[in-house]
A = this chain, B = another copy of it.
Amino acid sequence: MQITILTERELRQCVQLDQEIVDAVADAFTRLANGQAMMPPPIMRVEVLENNGEVDIKSAYLEGLDSFAVKMSSGFFNNAQLGLPSLGGLMILLSAKIGFPEALLLDNGYLTDVRTGAAGAVAARHLARQSIDTVGVIGAGAQARYQVRALALVRRFTRLLVYSQTPERVEQYAADMRQELGVTVETLASAEAVVRGSDLLITTTPAKSPVVQADWLHPGLHITAMGSDAEGKQELHADVIARADVVVCDRKSQAFRLGELHHAREAGLLAEDDPHVIELGDITVGRSPGRQNDQQITVADLTGTGAQDTAIALLAFRKAQAAGFGTQIEA
């Protein structure tokens, strides 16, 4: 048996955020909604407290696909002091036929960035108004980039408003997005100004206390909240969820434990079986409509699923093979 080892450099060369990836991630949500996914509900988390680090492990088998991924995402938050990136990760692709390893994707988190951006695009495709002009972003890190790049695949917009609590990063972010997407980019002095001025809002912070308030919302707004993927994280005040007309998450069992929905439930504003909360797959499969008019306020709470990892890992492996990339190891 052979296993193919792929490096971040190789994966960056052959995998870029594009329509095919957005469609593959949408397909993963559809399979989840169709009961065609076996995704272990609890994310496995290994904490290395003494080094301020953690590794999250996700996986999912999607029925009918030849392989499935096991992904490790690392966050070691003392790394910056060593001049190393805090976030990393890798994926293992296993045969769904015989269980043997097929590929090791040493992507250092790149594929996670891409599939996370793609999930935002899937949400926006179904939840944002068809016609938008101004996009707001809170945060200026990697996902602030990937989300906006992905959004540009499903909606046209001409203007980006950005606010970040780390101002030293925001100017570079603005310059990069201006050049990359050809849109005007304005850096604003408050989250409130961004929310009030945007047709679509993306929150991409590691906030542990809520940033976005319900009284800043306005009819027609769509919000994609990316940041909260752990019990202690929260970007939206609980009443933002209560105020929304449509609340969508990637996976209820996760979002009610790790995402914004968790805090809304704790605040007594949302029950786990509330029928007005749906999964993104309910929309991609055609069971729920998503946005129904231009006045609704919609929220997507995305925590990140193993189904997305399997989708991107398979696609990346296929593209890498087509490009002739990788080191073969006889295992």
Q: Enumerate chain A interface residues (CB-CB to B < 8 A).
A: 3, 5, 7-8, 38, 40, 42, 44-51, 53, 55, 57, 59-61, 63, 68, 70, 72, 74-76, 79, 82, 84, 88, 90, 92, 94, 96-101, 104, 106, 108, 327, 329-331
Of the candidates B74, B79, B90, B329, the one whose C-beta lies within 8 Å of that of A5 is B329
- A94 partner residues in chain B, CB cutoff 8 A: 55, 72, 74
> Given A44-B57, A106-B3: A88 and B70 within 8 A (CB)?
no
Bound-state Cα–Cα, A42 to B57, Å: 12
Bound-state Cα–Cα, A97 to B49, Å: 10
- A50 partner residues in chain B, CB cutoff 8 A: 63
- A57 partner residues in chain B, CB cutoff 8 A: 44, 57, 59, 70
- Tell me the smallest distance from the CB of A118 to a CB of chain B, in Å: 22
Q: Are B68 and A46 in contact (CB under 8 A)?
A: yes
Copies in the complex: 2
Q: Are A61 and B46 in contact (CB under 8 A)?
A: yes
- Tell me the smallest distance from the CB of A190 to a CB of chain B, in Å: 34
Bound-state Cα–Cα, A249 to B92, Å: 31
Of the candidates B53, B59, B61, the one whose C-beta lies within 8 Å of that of A96 is B53
Of the candidates B38, B55, B75, B106, the one whose C-beta lies within 8 Å of that of A48 is B38
Q: Are B96 and A101 in contact (CB under 8 A)?
A: no
- Tell me the smallest distance from the CB of A192 to a CB of chain B, in Å: 36
Q: Are B90 and A76 in contact (CB under 8 A)?
A: no
